[in-house]
Amino acid sequence: MTLHHALDEMNTTLRQTRARLLAPLDLGQQVVPDDPEIFVEDVLLYVMDEWGADLREKGHVLEQDHDWKDEVNHYPLFRLRMAGGRTLFLHFTGQYPGQLHLTVSKAMRRMSQFSDAEMFNFPLPVTMDPNVLLFGLIDGMKDMAVA
């Protein structure tokens, strides 16, 4: 499976997740909390769990790397094992609460390495509304292009 095909499959599934998901919004929690763990647990992991469920239906496996620790921002790292055999890293980075970025990169043979030759990075909104985060993922992924 080429990187272009893998990205297309991820984007298609993400759009299906958005079409299926009407994420609940706690109107009392409009402000981004001071504690990054609240944002990660309540919004980011919720969205990734829902996307992961739709990816599983297509034979792909999205799993969080629980060995990865970002003590400052608490942003997670995910591995996406595509049905065609390709493995991608989905690495959330940034400085909470000001920045959130998703880096999608090709995994190498040793799973602790990634390829910066096939890597895409795009900004995402830090918000307590899962729908806004989903739209950010969709917009970022549609702008990725294989050089």
Could you tell me the residue ranges of all domains in the chain? 3-21+39-142
* 28, pLDDT greater than 80: no
DSSP H or E segment with residue 12: helix 3-20
In whole angstroms, give the CA distance from residue 73 to residue 94. Answer: 7
86-141: per-residue pLDDT in tens?
899 999 999 999 999 999 988 776 656 666 667 889 999 999 988 899 999 999 98
What confidence tier does 147 reach under pLDDT thresholds 50, 70, 90?
very low
Quote the pTM value: 0.85
Query: Which parts of the chain are beta strand (E)?
Result: 61-64, 77-81, 87-93, 100-107, 114-124
Read off the DSSP letter of residue 115.
E
